[in-house]
Amino acid sequence: MNNKQQIAFISVDNTRTFEDKNLDELYVNQWEEAAIATKTVVKLCRKAWLITVNVLEEHPVWHISFASSFANKNPRELLTYEEVANWTDIENELAPEAMFTVAELQEYMKKVWAQMLWPDHGVVNTEWTELQEPLEENDFDIKVVKWDKAFKDAYSGFDDTNLDDILQENNIKEIVLGWVATDYCVGDTALDAVAKGYKVTIVEEAVRWVTPETTAAKIKELKEKWVKFVTLEKIASRLNKI
């Protein structure tokens, strides 16, 4: 791979769990359009011999972020450390099938203090983790899996993965980001990348978001950290010159 440009494209969570209406999980309107824009960027990167990375989540069943892992919780409810701090192995509100212990939950919640609970999604070895068309596995040079531990949740592609090692091994200095969601996984991946010293560009047409409110706050934070937002036309013009 020619790395003279020191640029890599990272697709975050471009999978059916977020994009297929028929799965009825975390679908948000127009996410398919972002997949099409991502495919355009991938083609340009492949033409320019730039590294492309597919970062996705593959949850074990009964993950700590699933509302179904708790007896009396619904999707999009917030779980807090204060709520679980006094749970015991005997008196607790875990579902019988939960793949983590009370102690693991309490240790994790003490670090994060609050956890948004989601519908079951992105479960490993299911159709949920398949790439959304028109993207294909051979569009990417490297696959990085996040959120693969039942007792831990993480939005960033850098959190407890080998993504940073991969980028450093390939002498990458700048990453171009696409996919979902701006206010969660894309945004946190971008912030971690900046903290690690990478220059970061987000392609506007290649991302979507969960809510306008959380997205506005995240975009403000991203811009304050010098994350650059560019149009598909502008990134295409740049990549076509490589």
In this prediction, residue 6 has a pLDDT band, given cuts at 50, 70 and 90, of: very high
Q: What pLDDT band is residue 4 in, cutting at 50, 70 and 90?
A: confident
Task: For residues 77-84, give the mean pLDDT.
Answer: 97
pLDDT digits (tens, 9 = 90+) for 203-228: 999 999 888 899 999 999 999 999 99
Cα–chain-centroid distance for residue 76?
17
| pLDDT(198) > 60 | yes
Q: Kindly report the CATH number that applies to the domain delimited by 7-59+122-240.
A: 3.40.50.850
Tens digits of residue pLDDT in 21-69: 777 667 667 777 888 999 999 999 999 999 999 999 999 999 999 999 9
pLDDT > 90? residue 232? yes
What's the average model confidence in pLDDT over 149-159?
93
- The pLDDT score that the predictor gives to residue 3 is 59
184 pLDDT above the threshold of 80: yes
Whether pLDDT at 1 is above 80 = no
Instruction: Delimit the CATH 3.40.50.850 region(s) of the chain.
Output: 7-59+122-240
Q: What is the pTM of this model?
A: 0.92
The predicted pLDDT at position 25 comes to 66
Q: What is the mean pLDDT of the chain?
A: 93
Residue-level pLDDT at 24: 64
